[in-house]
Amino acid sequence: MEQGATGARRRRLGVMGGTFDPIHHGHLVAASEVADRFSLDEVVFVPTGRPWQKQGKGVSPAEDRYLMTVIATASNPRFSVSRVDVDREKVTYTVDTLRDLRSYHPNAELYFITGADALASILSWQDWEELFSLAKFVGVSRPGFDLNTEHLAGHLDALPEDAVTLIEIPALAISSTECRRRASRHRPVWYLVPDGVVQYISKRNLYRPPDSERLDGA
């Protein structure tokens, strides 16, 4: 375990980045499992402002995604939500998220939590070498995606052994895409997302096509 200058254990901070459109139980289980396995003091959920991978695709307003994330995490004393990406003007890159969190928490050890699918695109992320200097990466299993670091072969040799750790977590085949699809067709999202998020989606009428485009003819 790494120690600070005073010999005290350094605070361990998980960082769970995502579009969270909407946040679902797959995200929450991933954060909870990594918190337990790595003895994290806190997991900060960071909803993206404008996600660079999803430009041009209709993403719900950042404020709605931020509020759903707050609602979903409110009951867990070790979970919090950061506005660093939502409040940044430019498109969200993970390296900016980590730079900002590092400046707010200069003495903490950062653990960036990512699902197997997002881990697979890590090399296409900007400044990936700097990413590894800012945080350790924890890749979690996700149904439908292979959890491996083959795409990092050749690069990992240059990194410390604990730069990337892969862990199996309870499989939840839930995606935000499927939740949006269900909500748009008036199908239930109960138990896929926290109750408060079901109610928020309904209150704000998220993911519903305008009346003329409704798919169920209702």
Q: Would you tell me which residues interact with ligand ATP (CB under 6 A)?
A: 18-21, 26-27, 30, 114-115, 117-118, 140, 142, 172, 174-177
124 vs 177, which CB is nearer to ligand ATP? Answer: 177
Non-local (6+) Cβ contacts of 155 within 8 A are: 123, 128
Q: How far is the CB of 186 from ligand ATP (least distance, A)?
A: 19
Q: How far is the CB of 57 from ligand ATP (least distance, A)?
A: 9
Largest CA distance in the chain: 66
10 vs 196, which CB is nearer to ligand ATP? Answer: 196
Q: How far is the CB of 128 from ligand ATP (least distance, A)?
A: 15
203: its two tokens: 């209150």
31 vs 108, which CB is nearer to ligand ATP? Answer: 31
Supply the DSSP symbol for 111: E
Question: Position 92: which residue type?
Answer: T
Residue nearest to ligand ATP (CB): 115
83: its two tokens: 């506005």
Q: How far is the CB of 217 from ligand ATP (least distance, A)?
A: 26
Torsion, Cα 64 126 174 47, to 10 degrees, reads -20
Assess contact for 40 and 12: CB atoms under 8 A: yes
Q: How far is the CB of 26 from ligand ATP (least distance, A)?
A: 2
Assess contact for 115 and 20: CB atoms under 8 A: no
107 vs 191, which CB is nearer to ligand ATP? Answer: 191
Supply the DSSP symbol for 9: B
30 vs 189, which CB is nearer to ligand ATP? Answer: 30
